[in-house]
Amino acid sequence: MTRLLVGTASWTDPTLLESGWYPDGVTTAEERLAYYASHFPLVEVDSTYYGPPAERTVEYWRDRTPDGFTFNIKAFSLLTHHPTRPEALYKDLRERVAANGKNLYLRSLDSAIVDEVWDRFLQALTPLENAGKLGAVLLQFPRWFSISRDHKRYILECKRRCEPVRICVEFRNRTWMSEENQAETLDFLASYAVPYVCVDMPQGYPCSIPPVVAVTADLAVVRFHGRSKKWTSRDIHERFGYLYSEAELREWVPRLRTLAEKADTTHVLMNNCYRDYAQTNAQQLIRLLRNESGEAARQ
């Protein structure tokens, strides 16, 4: 039976904690995750982009959620060619890198260090994998990661390194999904069963990806980033602080149903993480999907 899971990209954002979404008395990390998991079957962990997680922290996530709950994990910035603060690197590896206070880039590091970062990052996720709670590792590539033979090879390298953990891929460079390259991109991903991440995001910017609905593997993933008119702002809450209207969410209901018909599992994640916007819209979307089909999206 097709599984369509809806969740959000955070349960600990400071503005969410201030919003009143969590009831009085739900104040600890354990209580918040348990409360979140009572409302949604899926969450994306974005903190792992800024620094790789400790295995003990991942054990807490496993233990504080019910059987069947699913975590998607955003890959550490270094592994997707983003600039990375030296202090985010593992301490013992940091001592082997001549950073001089500047950002680190994957291309400038010794291959042995890169291998070690990959190994430790994936090892930390083992508690979730063993518990059947690890959905996918999200590889969100930067705006300068354009379509090329080398970049395709790197995606396949990531797939190989992560196996048997599944990856999913999101692009922020429009060359991948331009009219002339879109079919090539989707065929490439489908040829290697790499899930494509469909997006709803502001349009008209150099990093804008059109809202293409496509299934390239047994898992389909959709991320909603909002439609803020301040997408280029340095203030992350101005960029993602967008509350979808019900009409805007309703536009996506038939698209999500199409994905769910073609994929074994579909993950839908609200990444408009400001106050309780993501949680509110996720609950609205669950209701709309339920009303549309007479069958409940998993909640």
Tell whether the model's pLDDT for residue 1 goes beyond 50: no
Q: What's the confidence (pLDDT) of residue 96?
A: 86
Q: State the amino acid at position 169 in one-letter form.
A: V
**Residue 6 and residue 297 in contact, taking contact as beta carbons nearer than 8 Å:** yes
Q: CA nearest 277: which of 232, 228, 219? A: 228
Q: What's the confidence (pLDDT) of residue 296?
A: 45
Tell whether the model's pLDDT for residue 60 goes beyond 70: yes
* 255-283 confidence digits (pLDDT tens): 999 999 999 999 999 999 999 999 999 99
Q: Which residues lie below 8 Å from residue 216, measured CB to CB, with a gap of 6+? A: 186, 189, 190, 193, 194, 195, 196
Q: What are phi and psi of 57, to 5 degrees?
A: -65, -40
Order of strands across the sheet that contains 42-45: 167-170, 134-140, 70-74, 42-45, 3-8, 265-270, 219-224, 197-200
Average pLDDT rounded to a whole number, residues 72-99: 92
Average pLDDT rounded to a whole number, residues 221-228: 97
- pTM for the model stands at 0.94
Average pLDDT rounded to a whole number, residues 83-101: 85
Q: Which residues lie below 8 Å from residue 140, measured CB to CB, with a gap of 6+? A: 49, 74, 75, 80, 170, 172, 197
**Residue range 3-293, CATH number:** 3.20.20.410
What percent of the chain lies above the pLDDT cut of 90?
88
What does pLDDT average to over the chain? Answer: 94
Span between the terminal Cα atoms of the chain, in Å: 16
Q: CA nearest 220: which of 98, 132, 136, 103? A: 136
Written in H, E and C, the secondary structure of the chain is CCEEEEEECCCCCHHHHHHCCCCCCCCCHHHHHHHHHCCCCEEEECHHHHCCCCHHHHHHHHHCCCCCCEEEEECCHHHHCCCECHHHCCHHHHCCCCCCCCCECHHHCCHHHHHHHHHHHHHHCHHHHHCCCEEEEEEECCCCCCCCHHHHHHHHHHHHHHCCCCEEEECCCHHHHCCCCHHHHHHHHHHCCCCEEEEECCCCCCCCCCCCCCCCCCEEEEEECCCCCCCCCCCHHHHHCCCCCHHHHHHHHHHHHHHHHHCCEEEEEECCCCCCHHHHHHHHHHHHHHHHHCCCCEC
